[in-house]
Amino acid sequence: MHSALPKVLHPLAGRPLVSHVLDNVRSLAPRAVCLVIGHGAESVRGALAAPELTIVVQDPPRGTGDAVRVALAALPETGVTVVANGDCPLVPASAFAAIAAMASRGSLALLTARVGDPSGLGRVIRDAGPDGRVRAIVEDRDASDDERRRNEIYTGVLAAPTERLRRWVGALRDDNAQREFYLTGIVPMALAEGVPVEAHVTPSEVDALGVNDRAQLAAIERILQRRKADELLRAGTWIADPERIDVRGTLACGRDVRIDVGCVFEGDVELGDGATVGPYCVLRDARVGPGAAIAAFSHVDGAAVGAHARVGPYARLRPGAVLAEDVHIGNFVEVKASTIGRGSKANHLAYIGDTTIGAGVNFGAGSITANYDGANKHRTVIEDGASIGSNCVLVAPVTVRSGATIGGGSTIAQDAPPDTLTVARARQVSIAGWQRPVKKPKTEKG
């Protein structure tokens, strides 16, 4: 990956790559889950630690067979063990369930795939009989011409009765150029004991794709994103272009939701019935109410937008912003840690931070709440029906009472009384006869 970040922690659909594998494995309701880590062990442990997850370190890394040996020492001694790859996030839960069922009947179960180009991959060799039982896995470099023409490959995923797997892994040898213990070495052991070796073929070769570089990670990202888009489309969400949407978390959509191109959804996002999201918006941990509209190039982060509210274009709602019904937040308006009451408006070029705004308030263009004194944050309160003129500064802590009007260009540092015009600005002076300075003429150099 050419990165300081361990491969399994690289983000895929907003989560660490290996988290997708763990989710599918956990769907089996296993008695225990063990994650074998090596490079960047502490980073992986810190990112993935969970009460039900046992993490063990393979040090030094000596192949897949050795990794399984290390894991088995931390797992129950009976039952079935499923072995998965941390860098193959597309293997479906159903495939894990299928091989686990085979292993529960006493077989060594392999997950295989039929691929268009098996070059460089281990081939699955089957008996010619009607059962087509597996009799070997042959590495590409060791395969005959006939074996190379076969397109069924071993994915690296298997399941086996735990007691047998423990014995087989313990008998592996490292008599190869890499001095590693290969898990595939258990196949001839099983066959020698008369244990059936079965294979479950994935429905799609895509399921077996792994990540070894950033190009493969990007390709799998697009596969996952297209799957998420298709799920939303089938559920009734209108998506302008399913190739241009990124869901990096969970996205729950009501009926008749519309999503334009280039939108990114991170964390947990909910869109109510009839909500619309314009092009190139970013929503993170956000709730958007029924009928609300998020216009183009807006960011909604840790915020809640009420029913039929209007946000954007080019608006930014930061964590703690809560908009009631029918609120309008216009272009280049930023709202942080503030609640805005029903029907209130801030349509242009404004900053609202640490503020409580009542219903029916108009917050003028160019106005801000000055909430930070250099050391502490303070709160502004603007009560129902107040009107804040353009280019005003409300210096917190301060309260603007209901129905008050603040004249444009005012700096308000004291509470403004209700139903009253308050103006606080320098007196305008015009100076007759004043001359604007002019530049001195340039002299020629002699």
More confident residue, 355 or 121: 355
pLDDT band at 446 (very low <50, low <70, confident <90, very high): low
User: How far is residue 83's CA from residue 392's CA, in Å, rounded to a whole number?
Assistant: 64
The pLDDT mean for the chain works out to 95
Long-range pairs of 272-280 with CB within 8 A, sequence gap ≥ 24: 272/307, 278/312, 278/313, 279/240
Task: State which H helix or E strand residue 110 sits in.
Answer: strand 108-114
State yes or no: pLDDT of 49 exceeds 70.
yes
Residue 89 CA, chain-centre distance (Å), reads 14
pLDDT of residue 38 exceeding 60: yes
Report the Cα–Cα distance between both ends of the chain, in Å, rounded: 66
Asked whether the beta carbons of 174 and 85 are under 8 A apart, the reply is: no
Tens digits of residue pLDDT in 148-179: 989 999 999 999 999 999 999 999 998 877 88
Say if residue 232's pLDDT is above 90. Answer: yes
Selected residue with higher pLDDT from 442 and 54: 54
Q: 142-156, 251-265, 279-293, 413-427: which has the minimum mean pLDDT?
A: 142-156
> How far, in Å, are 12, 24, 262, 269, 293 from residue 230 at the CA level?
18, 19, 16, 17, 23
For β-strands 245-253 and 263-271, DSSP reports them as: parallel
pLDDT for position 377: 94
Q: What is the pLDDT of residues 362-394, one digit of tens each?
A: 999 999 999 999 999 999 999 999 999 999 999
Residues 88, 82: Cα–Cα separation, whole Å: 14
Q: How many CA atoms lie within 13 Å of 415's alpha carbon, on the beta-carbon side? A: 7
Q: Does 340 score more than 70 pLDDT? A: yes
Active site residue 10: no
Place of tokens 């989710």: 23
Mean pLDDT over 137-152 rounds to: 88
- Picking from 91, 107, 112, 106, the residue whose alpha carbon sits closest to that of residue 199 is 112
pLDDT tens digits along 53-111: 999 999 998 999 999 999 999 999 999 999 999 999 999 999 999 999 999 999 999 99
∠ CA 154-156-162, rounded to 5°: 115
Q: Judge whether 168 and 190 are in contact, CB under 8 Å.
A: yes
Question: Looking at the predicted structure, is the pLDDT value of residue 220 above 70?
Answer: yes
Quick one: pLDDT at residue 445?
Answer: 67
Structure tokens at 6: 């361990």
pLDDT digits (tens, 9 = 90+) for 275-292: 999 999 999 999 999 999
Residue whose tokens read 């991170």: 266
Q: Which of 20, 299, 348, 378 is catalytic?
A: 348
pLDDT value of position 175: 85
Q: What is the mean pLDDT of residues 198-203?
A: 93
Domains and CATH numbers, the chain: 7-208 (3.90.550.10), 235-422 (2.160.10.10)
